[in-house]
Amino acid sequence: MALGLSLSATQSNDATYLTVTDATGETAATGWGVGGNEDYTDIVSVALSAPGQYLLYLTVTVTDKDGTETSYDAIDLYALAETDGTTVPFAATTDLTWTIDASDLVSGTTAMGTSSDKLTDGIYKLSYSLYSISGAATVDTYDVYHLVDGDSTIDVYDALRELSQQYDNEINDESRTIMEALLKYTYLLSIQKADIDSEQSRIINMLWTLDKINSDSSKYSW
Amino acid sequence: MATQNQVNTYISNIKSLLSFYGNKVATMNQQGNEPGFPKELKFMLLQAYVEIAENYLSEWDSTTDDNYMTVAEFEEILDHINAICNSEYWLDLT
């Protein structure tokens, strides 16, 4: 059976990076090196490329809260590992994990941000692909969607944290502040619990609205 | 500094506080003694603070600084939980 790539991703709590990890494995029939499948030990960078070897890429497309779609240049994962100090050539599946920050996401000559900037909130389409140099063709591509909502999450958590702890006075005098924080929190939970594959337009709509409430507050008088 | 066991115990304790508080509000409702708007609001806030604490502590690592907020800010979350529940659960994360 042919190689079947797989990938998982998690975002850091401070919203500055994604950790993407190969989930292809090497035991199933679709795994690395199984039954003559391509092997991760033969992966090189574009700079090192030679016949018989492979290139491993991650292409990221971000749909932000405004619905604007930005496609970033393909990331050469061998070269990224080399830069980040990970073992190369890849010698074990545990080497197949990468940290992607805003400086790694470059569209033309413009990066999303610096390595310490927060990632833009939105839906990230991660396309993980293996390219055969000698075959001059893509061997396999695996697409997965990932919600990045760290910036919004931090804003909502801050709104809840900054509430007065004098609840009874607060509730009597300033219930609006509490209700606004709870409304933001409800939006956040709804975004996080939505199905990333089938409810993307709803997620984007809620992200946009949450952002507006975070910056301008809601229109409710409470 | 708190050990992982202490972190786990803390999470267990605050989740227990949440169910205790929820049960109190539910019981007041069932007995026809409406808990009132403020107590219901505090119940909703408590749920949020418990979840923030769980999420923060699931990624807590004393050697890195990549969490939702600083340790000092997180301690305000612990204060909120104690203020709502009139409890004194605490974690030393420094």
> Are A127 and A6 spatial neighbours (Cβ–Cβ below 8 Å)?
no
Write out residues in chain A with pLDDT < 70, as ranges.
169-174
Q: Mean per-residue pLDDT for B42-68? A: 91
In whole angstroms, how far apart are CA A191 and each of A61, A180, B54, B57?
19, 17, 18, 21
Neighbours of A138 (CB within 10 A): 12
Residue A157 is nearest to which of B41, B59, B69, comparing CB atoms?
Answer: B69
Looking up tokens 């408590």 gives B46
Q: What share of chain B in percent tops pLDDT 90?
A: 69
Question: What pLDDT is recorded for position A169?
Answer: 65
Residue B33 has pLDDT above 90, yes or no: no
| Domain residue ranges in chain B | 4-85
Question: What pLDDT is recorded for position B66?
Answer: 87
Cβ contacts of A139 within 8 Å, gap of 6 or more: A2, A3, A38, A54, A129, A130, A131, A132
Question: What pLDDT is recorded for position B1?
Answer: 86
CA distance B32 to chain A (A): 22
Nearest CA in chain A to B66: A14
The token duo for A74 is 């393909």
Question: What pLDDT is recorded for position A173?
Answer: 57
**Residue pLDDT, tens place only, A39-83:** 999 999 998 888 889 999 999 999 999 999 999 999 999 999 999
Question: Does B56 contact A at CB distance below 8 Å?
Answer: yes
Question: What pLDDT is recorded for position A170?
Answer: 56
Question: What pLDDT is recorded for position A29?
Answer: 96
Question: What pLDDT is recorded for position A174?
Answer: 64
The answer for B51, left when phi > 0, alpha when psi is -120 to 50, beta otherwise, is: alpha
Question: What pLDDT is recorded for position B64?
Answer: 75
